[in-house]
Structure 1
Amino acid sequence: MKYTKLPNTNIEVSKICLGSMTWGQQNTEAEGHEQIDYALDKGVNFIDTAEMYSVPARPETQGSTEKVIGTWLKKTGRREDVVIASKVAGPGDMVSHIRKDLGFHKAAIEDAIDKSLKRLQTDYIDLYQLHWPERNANFFGKRGYEHEADEQWQDNFREILESLKYFIDKGKIRHIGLSNETPFGLMRFLEESKNDLPRVVTVQNPYNLLNRKDEIGLTEIYHRENVGLFPYSPLGMGTLSGKHLDGVKENTRLSLFPQYNRYSNEEAVKATREYKKLADKYNMSLTHLALAFVNQQPFVTSNIIGATSIEQLKENIESIEVVLSEEILEGINEIHNSIPNPAP
């Protein structure tokens, strides 16, 4: 395994992060525990979760993933061996079952943190992230920003940081991050942090061969402001494993939850076929090509991989040993330039 540090902290994390959103819905508690044990045995020390998980969000399964992690922590007593990241949900109809008020004001965040801590059976969360902005922004399958003239959101970046500082001072969380965020949002948080407030250390955004839109504006900020990208969906919900090229496979995320179709449009499939040809040319799996590409990006702190089976998890973790040559990277960029960001 390879390691780095959460930017501007002394917390060492593995370059591979164990994603968990299937635990409690697609995976049982026992399977979740098995995945954690396997990942730690391979050197992974970083686990990402969220209060809304498992996915898709449902009242019956809300918080189930954190509970799986919590029972593992209680069973093993290995809290100091893992770095745990979780997230507080923003406003949205799909998560209206979590709280009546889903805004990022102090009372809502306190409710979220305290319930997450209880489910996780721990006293603190290492990295606490805002799952998506309160304001209208281009996230979850949207390529561009569309302004809403009647938007009710009021600028509250400083207020949010003041609330998060309170919970850091209380020892309930250690560091903060964002998710599904834009250059505007990240820069506003960074500017406000100069007022003796907590500084964002990571942004968890989608990033993969089919969606490199962070490179348009955010990666410059990552480099210049020392903020780490914490990418999710590095395999495009399984699309970049190549398993769906001849039709969606049964009992997979895309077959069970067809609403997750942002990586299945005609151009995305076309690009995936080209990446598969490139992987075949160099005698590697498409999975390893896709994950190694993300692993090698200098602005990436830790690559969030997920799996529903140990076999998948094994291949995903092994990607850390794959190093793409300049020739392969040139081939990737040729495909990207001809079919740029086909998945929103």
Structure 2
Amino acid sequence: MQRHKLGKSNISVSSLCLGCMTLSAGKSDSDMQNLLDHASANGICFFDTAEMYPTPIRESTYGSSEALIGKWLRKKGGRSEITLATKASGPAAFVPWIRSGKSRHNRVNLISAVEGSLKRLRTDYIDIFQLHWPDRATNFFNVRGFKVPKKDLAFDIEDTVDVLMDLVASGKIRSFGICNETAWGAMTFIKKMEKKTSNATLAIQNPYSLLNRSLEMGLSEIITREDIAFFAHSPLASGILTGKYFNGSALSSSRLNQNHHGTVFKSPALLKAAEKYISIAKKHGIDPTQMAIAWLLSQPVVTSVIIGVTNRSQLAHNLASCNVTLTREILKDIDSVQQEIPNPCP
């Protein structure tokens, strides 16, 4: 498993990151801790969670993913060998219980979020503390036909940067990141950080997959030129790129049906593109899941790919992607589909 530095920092992340969105979701603690053990034993040192996890998102399970990781870390030891990332929720009507609705990215709320996560994770510091989504009115999930609201939400990115840098200085977080951001948001954070006298490092986590290459139309240049770490989430587009849903077998508990973009993930254009990518994999004798992840690993802009699994079999299947090499012919076939059906997924 390759490791990469987080921008100009000394924080190291594995090329595959275990996304912990489904930890504690209908599985026993021992099963989930065994999964974490297996990931660690196979070279994954990077784990990504969030205060609102697991999914499906419920008030009764708020913080359970962090708590399970905290229990695992306490039992396992070796905290310095693990790179731990978590996220603070932004304002949203679907999570009113998070910090009693106090979710603007201001000083009081972010300090409260960090303290809560530290307690649940049973650790003294968070390696990468991320903002799960912006706290302003913007199209942070690439919704098609998005209309700019006539009334914006109150936000102050400079104040947000100030408190994040103070948290770095305090030692409670080592770096920070922004998730589901726009190019404007990313550059604004960068400009605000440049005004400060700090060595704080920024990371970006956004969707990126064969079905969603919108990153390449703006953010990728920012990431490259500003030397920012990039974490690709949703690499399989809620499982569509595995091919397992084309026989009508999507379970109600699957990520496809739990995703709030579920109807978009079932659009004719997206399904047509996914079928073409799966056909390319089969044509070249490659597993579709492994081709999709291997393609991301081959992109220079990607620092780490966030995978989501619920058992050791799925984890082993994803880990094998690291050993897949995509030939020029395969890459040419992949690009031909992108040209024909560009970015069908938000």
- Give the TM bin, normalised by the shorter chain: over 0.9
1:112 paired residue number = 113
Q: CA deviation at 1:327?
A: 1.4
Answering whether residue 303 of structure 2 is matched by residue 337 of structure 1, we say no
1:143 & 1:104 partners in 2: Cα distance? 26
Q: CA deviation at 1:182?
A: 0.4
1:247 & 1:161 partners in 2: Cα distance? 46
2:226 & 2:271 partners in 1: Cα distance? 35
Deviations 1:178-203 (A, max 9, x none): 00000000000001111125555211
Structure 1 residues 182 and 141 mapped into 2: Cα distance closer, same or farther (>3 Å)? closer
Q: CA deviation at 1:80?
A: 1.4
Answering whether residue 238 of structure 2 is matched by residue 263 of structure 1, we say no
Q: Normalization by structure 2: what TM-score?
A: 0.95
1:49 paired residue number = 49
- Equivalent AA in structure 2 for residue 287 of structure 1: T
1:277 paired residue number = 279
2:74 paired residue number = 74
Tell me, yes or no, if the aligned pair for 1:248 and 1:255 is still in contact at 8 Å: no
Structure 1 residues 179 and 103 mapped into 2: Cα distance closer, same or farther (>3 Å)? same
1:195-344 mapped onto 2 (5 Å cutoff): 195-196=195-196, 199-250=200-251, 252-254=253-255, 257=258, 259-261=260-262, 262-344=264-346
Report the identity percentage: 38
Q: CA deviation at 1:28?
A: 2.9
2:85 & 2:259 partners in 1: Cα distance? 27
- Equivalent AA in structure 2 for residue 188 of structure 1: T
Would you identify which runs of 4 or more consecutive aligned residues in structure 1 move more than 3 Å?
197-200
Q: CA deviation at 1:264?
A: 2.1
Structure 1 residues 89 and 324 mapped into 2: Cα distance closer, same or farther (>3 Å)? same
Give the stretch that moved more between structures: 294-303 or 92-101: 92-101
- Equivalent AA in structure 1 for residue 30 of structure 2: A
Gapped regions of structure 2 (runs ≥ 5):
none
Q: CA deviation at 1:258?
A: 6.3
- Equivalent AA in structure 1 for residue 164 of structure 2: L
Gapped regions of structure 1 (runs ≥ 5):
none
2:150 & 2:66 partners in 1: Cα distance? 38
1:6-85 mapped onto 2 (5 Å cutoff): 6-85=6-85
1:4 & 1:258 partners in 2: Cα distance? 30
Q: CA deviation at 1:144?
A: 6.0
Structure 1 residues 106 and 293 mapped into 2: Cα distance closer, same or farther (>3 Å)? same
Structure 1 residues 202 and 78 mapped into 2: Cα distance closer, same or farther (>3 Å)? same
Structure 1 residues 129 and 122 mapped into 2: Cα distance closer, same or farther (>3 Å)? same
Q: CA deviation at 1:168?
A: 1.0
Answering whether residue 169 of structure 2 is matched by residue 169 of structure 1, we say yes
- Equivalent AA in structure 2 for residue 21 of structure 1: M
Deviations 1:209-242 (A, max 9, x none): 1111111111011111111221111011111111
Give the stretch that moved more between structures: 253-262 or 275-284: 253-262
Tell me, yes or no, if the aligned pair for 1:132 and 1:179 is still in contact at 8 Å: yes
1:151 paired residue number = 152
Q: CA deviation at 1:339?
A: 0.6
Deviations 1:74-116 (A, max 9, x none): 1111211210001110000111111231101111011110010
Tell me, yes or no, if the aligned pair for 1:19 and 1:304 is still in contact at 8 Å: yes
Q: CA deviation at 1:153?
A: 2.6
1:160 paired residue number = 160
1:324 & 1:83 partners in 2: Cα distance? 28
1:163 & 1:144 partners in 2: Cα distance? 34
1:144 & 1:118 partners in 2: Cα distance? 41
Deviations 1:260-315 (A, max 9, x none): 41322111111111011100111011001100011111011110001112111111
2:77 & 2:39 partners in 1: Cα distance? 16
1:193 paired residue number = 193
SS of 1:245's equivalent? coil
Q: Please provide the CA RMSD for this pair.
A: 1.5
- Equivalent AA in structure 2 for residue 313 of structure 1: L
SS of 1:57's equivalent? coil
1:258 & 1:113 partners in 2: Cα distance? 26
Q: CA deviation at 1:246?
A: 1.5
Tell me, yes or no, if the aligned pair for 2:137 and 2:153 is still in contact at 8 Å: no
2:259 & 2:160 partners in 1: Cα distance? 35
Q: Normalization by structure 1: what TM-score?
A: 0.96
Structure 1 residues 323 and 143 mapped into 2: Cα distance closer, same or farther (>3 Å)? farther
